[in-house]
Amino acid sequence: MTAPLLEVDDLHVRFPVAGTGLTGRGKRLLHAVNGVSFSLAKGECLSIVGESGCGKSTAALSIMGLQEPTEGEIRFRGRPMTGPSAPTRMERAKAVQIVFQDPYASLNPRQTVWRSLADPLRLHGITAKSESADRIAALMRSVGLTPEQAGRFPHEFSGGQRQRIGIARALILEPEIVVLDEPVSALDVSIRAQIINLLLDLQDQFGLSYLMISHDLSVVEHMSDRVMVMYFGQLVETGSWQQIFASPAHPYTRRLIAAIPDPAHFGRISAEPFIDAPNMFAPPAASDLTEIAPGHFIRRTALEGAARA
Amino acid sequence: MTEPLLDVRDLVLDVPHGRGSLPILNRVSFQIHPGEAYGLVGESGSGKSVTSLAIMGLLKKPLRVSGGRIGFQGRDLLTLPKREMRKLRGDRIAMIFQEPMTALNPLATVGRQIAEMFMLHQGKSRAEAAPLAVAALESVKVPNADRRARSYPHEMSGGLRQRVMIAMALACNPDLLIADEPTTALDVTVQAEVLRLIKDLCAERGTAVLFISHDLGVIASVCQRVGVMYAGCLVEENETAALFETPRHDYTRGLLGALPRLGSRAAQGRQRLIDIDSIIADRSRLTETRFITPRREETP
């Protein structure tokens, strides 16, 4: 058992939300991420699934250092990423990088791809022209483009090519962890397959660890080693992809899986009934995850609810 | 042999370009029968949305129809005077768009917007239309319809707004509902509810549906027949089950193989997804072959 690369321990992120009226009286705290703990091992693909507003992106932003956690600790190779001994942004950039959903919105339209790739290298002390040229050329080939294409601007590429550039940009500093924020949901079906294949190839080639955020469960099943299901700021179920997809235990997980329109089931739509949404402003109910099979955890309140039903 | 409700024949759309023109739709033909749900699937730019706009008579310049006909209840929509078309639109043919927030008027309550349908098409007064609007909201299972009718679009979630759109579209019991990517902006569980609603309501009322989506899974769960569009051409058409089980066109095969299927990893391990460009040597030749399987007459 290798030591985890990234450990997240009881992560909380709360946002103050102004109340009503001109004075904003009755300010409340929105519990966006509510006591989330997990670890990510080297070479693993861990996915966070859940619907909009469940806190999955906020959790990822905390790991990126773009959102200060209200409480909790994030450690990279045992070293805290938050608090007074936190690494600087420069150090963090070599550990964790992100691939965004919309590659066009995340690339500078006025910079050539070359500059988008060369600037991080220069900032991190790789100033020799030949070295940065070699690294950019090698990376462009790794993501399925030609080194010559680096001279172009983002608008000269198709959506799929732009996402390849987004991936190259994330990998240029050779990070160990790559956060994939809905990496293929903005792409057309045929391009999607190419990018998924590429991400899996790169993971093999460079031994990358992925933390993937997605609401597309068929992509999650295809790519992940482990899956975490988030619901209103809390983890409700975590397990290996086999456990989550073959024997989902939490009603919300079952509801998510049942909702996927599947070409193999013609004419079937299962819309399972709503589960009462927890109040995002209320402090968390103290409940822990319970292990129901090796590595397969489920939130206890749900178990009790299921037992009562 | 029943008459088709919608009969699109050899529809050609193009954009003037220099002295010539750029083709947008290349002789697209399909029929939708009363009460049938027909799906058009394709990637961005394949022409599925302009097809629906052509049917609605909502094409904007420089797009123009340069051939074919769109028969609807025995009339050709392409030659129909604007006045007549306006009467038809919303009344006999209704449409749901992808982004309900941009399709709804932000300055009017949703109840009022639904009520307008009854006032415009059925000559009801505002007082008569108001309770009808509430009933329409109830029919799309909006909780507290009475109170919700007085809400503005921004006060509602994406799923609720899409329900309002459906209520509005189905208000006058149209014969044909065009749904253009109605659930793309929604979460999966909300998507399932909205799809269920469209399917059940249309089946109940005998409304035919033209369902447009890039998501093969969504199309499969709603439609009886599917047409696959590529580069302005309908390249394959078949009953949904047959199309998914035995796709005949290279492009359809590519699309289906490009999709990770739920459960396939558990069954056969992780298979590499099909890269559509690796099985298709020359994309420009894709539209040369078409596999259109005629609709089977229902045999009771």
**Residue A276 clears pLDDT 60, i.e. is over it:** no
Query: Is the domain of B195 the same as that of B283?
Result: yes
Closest Cα partner for B191 from A253, A181, A260, A251?
Answer: A260
Chain A residues near residue B257 by CB distance under 8 angstroms: 193
| Model confidence band, residue B205 (pLDDT cutoffs 50, 70, 90) | very high
- Do A103 and A163 form a contact (C-beta atoms < 8 A)? yes
Query: Is the domain of B199 the same as that of B296?
Result: yes
User: Is position B21 within any domain?
Assistant: no
Q: Where are the beta strands (DSSP E) in chain B?
A: 6-17, 20-32, 37-41, 64-72, 75-76, 93-96, 176-180, 208-213, 225-230, 233-239, 291-292
For residue B293, give how far its alpha carbon lies from the nearest alpha carbon of chain A (Å): 18
Query: Is the domain of B181 the same as that of B163?
Result: no
User: Is position B68 within any domain?
Assistant: no
Residue of higher predicted confidence among A263 and A235? A235
Section A277-283 average pLDDT: 66
Query: Which residues does residue A6 pair with via DSSP β-bridges, in sequence order?
Result: A40, A76
Q: Tell me, rounded to whole angstroms, the distance of Cα B239 from its chain centroid.
A: 17
Task: Check B274 against A261: CB less than 8 A apart.
Answer: no
| Model confidence band, residue B300 (pLDDT cutoffs 50, 70, 90) | very low
CA–CA distance, A189 with B244 (Å, rounded to integer): 15
Using a pLDDT cut of 90, give the percent of chain B over it. 66
A168 φ, ψ to 5°? -60, -40
**Residue A162 clears pLDDT 70, i.e. is over it:** yes
For residue A4, give how far its alpha carbon lies from the nearest alpha carbon of chain B (Å): 24
Going by C-beta distance under 8 Å and a sequence separation of 6 or more, which residues neighbour residue B288? none
| Model confidence band, residue A47 (pLDDT cutoffs 50, 70, 90) | very high
Q: Which of B217, B260, B276 is nearest residue A190 as measured by Cβ atoms? A: B276
Contacting B residues, span 6-65, partner chain A, CB-CB under 8 Å: 43-44
Query: Is the domain of B187 the same as that of B287?
Result: yes
Section A183-189 average pLDDT: 87
In tens, the pLDDT along B252-294 reads: 998 888 888 888 888 888 888 988 877 777 777 777 888 888 7
Q: Which residue of B has its CA nearest to A253?
A: B189
- Do A35 and A234 form a contact (C-beta atoms < 8 A)? yes
CA–CA distance, B72 with B176 (Å, rounded to integer): 9
Query: Is the domain of B157 the same as that of B182?
Result: no
Query: Which residues does residue A141 pair with via DSSP β-bridges, in sequence order?
Result: none
Task: Check B189 against A197: CB less than 8 A apart.
Answer: no
Query: Of B137, B171, B205, which marks where a domain is finished?
Result: B171
If you average pLDDT over every residue of chain B, what do you get? 90
Using a pLDDT cut of 70, give the percent of chain B over it. 98
Query: Is the domain of B291 the same as that of B153?
Result: no
| Model confidence band, residue A262 (pLDDT cutoffs 50, 70, 90) | confident
Burial class (CB in 10 A: 0-12, 13-18, 19+), A309: exposed
Task: Check B188 against A217: CB less than 8 A apart.
Answer: yes
Task: Check A189 against B255: CB less than 8 A apart.
Answer: yes
CATH code for position B54? 3.40.50.300
pLDDT value of residue A308:
41
| Model confidence band, residue A309 (pLDDT cutoffs 50, 70, 90) | very low
User: Is position B232 within any domain?
Assistant: yes
HEC sequence for B49-95: HHHHHHHHCCCCCCCEEEEEEEEECCEECCCCCHHHHHHHECCCEEE
User: Is position B248 within any domain?
Assistant: yes
Closest Cα partner for A208 from A178, A232, A167, A252?
Answer: A178
Query: Is the domain of B268 the same as that of B284?
Result: yes
Q: Which of A255, A256, A262 is nearest residue B217 as measured by Cβ atoms? A: A262
Query: Of B117, B151, B171, which marks where a domain is finished?
Result: B171
Radius of gyration over alpha carbons of chain B, in Å? 20
pLDDT value of residue A51:
86
Residues in chain B: 300
Query: Is the domain of B140 the same as that of B83?
Result: no
Q: Which of B188, B199, B274 is nearest residue A193 as measured by Cβ atoms? A: B274
pLDDT value of residue A278:
64
Query: Is the domain of B192 the same as that of B272?
Result: yes
User: Is position B29 within any domain?
Assistant: no
Section B238-246 average pLDDT: 92
pLDDT value of residue B61:
85
Query: Is the domain of B130 the same as that of B276?
Result: no
User: Is position B12 within any domain?
Assistant: no
CA–CA distance, A13 with A141 (Å, rounded to integer): 39
- Do A182 and A223 form a contact (C-beta atoms < 8 A)? no
- Do A252 and A85 form a contact (C-beta atoms < 8 A)? no
Chain B residues near residue A267 by CB distance under 8 angstroms: 220-222, 224, 240
In tens, the pLDDT along B92-121 reads: 999 998 887 888 999 999 999 999 999 999
pLDDT value of residue A301:
65
pLDDT value of residue A251:
87
Task: Check B220 against A267: CB less than 8 A apart.
Answer: yes
Mutation target to probe the A interface, by most A beta carbons within 10 A, among B163, B188, B211 is B188
Going by C-beta distance under 8 Å and a sequence separation of 6 or more, which residues neighbour residue A250? A229, A231, A236, A237, A298, A299, A302
Task: Provide the H-helix boundaries in B14-62.
Answer: 48-56
| Model confidence band, residue A283 (pLDDT cutoffs 50, 70, 90) | low
In the block, which residue shows the tokens 């103290």?
A286
Task: Check B43 against A189: CB less than 8 A apart.
Answer: yes
Burial class (CB in 10 A: 0-12, 13-18, 19+), B12: middle
Sheet holding A177-181, edge to edge: A96-99, A177-181, A209-214, A45-49, A226-231, A234-240, A296-299, A289-293
User: Is position B277 within any domain?
Assistant: yes
| Model confidence band, residue A258 (pLDDT cutoffs 50, 70, 90) | confident
Measured between CB atoms, does B259 come within 8 Å of chain A? Answer: yes
Residue of higher predicted confidence among A36 and A306? A36
Q: Which domain, by its residues, includes B117?
A: 101-171
Task: Check A267 against B215: CB less than 8 A apart.
Answer: no
Q: Which residue of B has its CA nearest to A270?
A: B192
Measured between CB atoms, does B217 come within 8 Å of chain A? Answer: yes
* Domains by residue range for chain A, with CATH: 6-308 (3.40.50.300)
Task: Check A190 against B255: CB less than 8 A apart.
Answer: yes
For residue B36, give how far its alpha carbon lies from the nearest alpha carbon of chain A (Å): 13
- Which tokens in the block code for residue B288? 């040369």
For residue A232, give how far its alpha carbon lies from the nearest alpha carbon of chain B (Å): 14
**Residue A22 clears pLDDT 70, i.e. is over it:** no
Section A31-40 average pLDDT: 91
Distances (CA, A) of B293 to A20, A267, B235: 60, 20, 11
pLDDT value of residue B98:
84
| Model confidence band, residue A90 (pLDDT cutoffs 50, 70, 90) | confident
CA–CA distance, B179 with A251 (Å, rounded to integer): 31
Query: Is the domain of B45 the same as that of B107?
Result: no
CA–CA distance, A48 with A11 (Å, rounded to integer): 14
Alpha carbon dihedral B83, B88, B94, B100, in 10-degree steps, equals: 20
Q: Which residue of B has its CA nearest to A51?
A: B187
Residue of higher predicted confidence among A23 and B8? B8
For residue B215, give how far its alpha carbon lies from the nearest alpha carbon of chain A (Å): 8
Query: Of B113, B145, B171, which marks where a domain is finished?
Result: B171
User: Is position B71 within any domain?
Assistant: no
If you average pLDDT over every residue of chain A, what do you get? 87
Query: Which residues does residue B15 pair with via DSSP β-bridges, in sequence order?
Result: B22
Query: Is the domain of B266 the same as that of B183?
Result: yes
Q: Tell me, rounded to whole angstroms, the distance of Cα A152 from its chain centroid.
A: 29
The interface predicted TM-score of the complex, written ipTM, equals: 0.83
Q: Which of B192, B214, B216 is nearest residue A188 as measured by Cβ atoms? A: B214
Number of domains in chain B: 2
Burial class (CB in 10 A: 0-12, 13-18, 19+), A302: buried
- Do B172 and B146 form a contact (C-beta atoms < 8 A)? no
pLDDT value of residue A265:
63
| Model confidence band, residue A286 (pLDDT cutoffs 50, 70, 90) | low
